Amino acid sequence: MLKQSKILYVIKTMDIGGAERFTFNLANYFKDKTASVTVASAGGIFTDKLEQSGIKHIKLKTPPEIKNFISLYKELSQILKDDDYSIVHCQHRIFTFLLQFIPQKKFILLYTAHNVFTDLFQKCIYPDHAAAVSTSILDNLRSYSFIKKNKISQINLGVKVPEIYNTRNGTITLGFIGRLINEKGIFNLLESVKILSSENLGFKLIIKGQGDLTKITSYIKHYNLSAIVSIPPPASDVEEIYHDINILVLPTWLNEGLPLSILEAAARKILIVSTGAGGIKDFLRDRQTGVMLDSLDPVSIARKLKEVITNYDSYSSILDNALNKVKDEFSLELMNKKYEALYCELLEPKLS
Separation CA 192–CA 85 (nearest Å): 50
Separation CA 24–CA 151 (nearest Å): 24
Q: For position 349, what pLDDT does the model report?
A: 67
Contact 181, 210 (CB under 8 A): no
For the segment 191-221, what is each residue's pLDDT rounded down to a tens digit?
999 999 989 898 999 999 888 889 999 999 9
* Close Cβ partners of 52 (under 8 Å, ≥ 6 residues apart): none
Beta strands in the chain (DSSP E): 6-10, 36-41, 56-59, 87-90, 108-113, 129-132, 152-154, 172-177, 203-208, 229-230, 247-250, 271-274, 291-292
Q: For position 348, what pLDDT does the model report?
A: 87
6-158+331-351 and 172-329 have identical folds: yes
For the chain, give every domain's residue range.
Answer: 6-158+331-351, 172-329
Contact 199, 229 (CB under 8 A): no
pTM of this structure? 0.91
* Close Cβ partners of 60 (under 8 Å, ≥ 6 residues apart): 40, 41, 42, 43, 72, 75
C-alpha dist (Å) from residue 322 to 93, 154, 265: 31, 20, 9
Domain 6-158+331-351, CATH 3.90.1150.10 — does that match? no
Q: For position 352, what pLDDT does the model report?
A: 44
Task: Report, at the CATH architecture level, how domain 172-329 is classified.
Answer: 3-Layer(aba) Sandwich (3.40)
Q: For position 166, what pLDDT does the model report?
A: 67
Q: For position 223, what pLDDT does the model report?
A: 94
Closest to 7 (Cα-Cα) out of 45, 44, 36, 42: 36
Q: For position 53, what pLDDT does the model report?
A: 92
- Kindly give the parts of the chain with pLDDT less than 70: 166-168, 349-352
Contact 147, 141 (CB under 8 A): yes
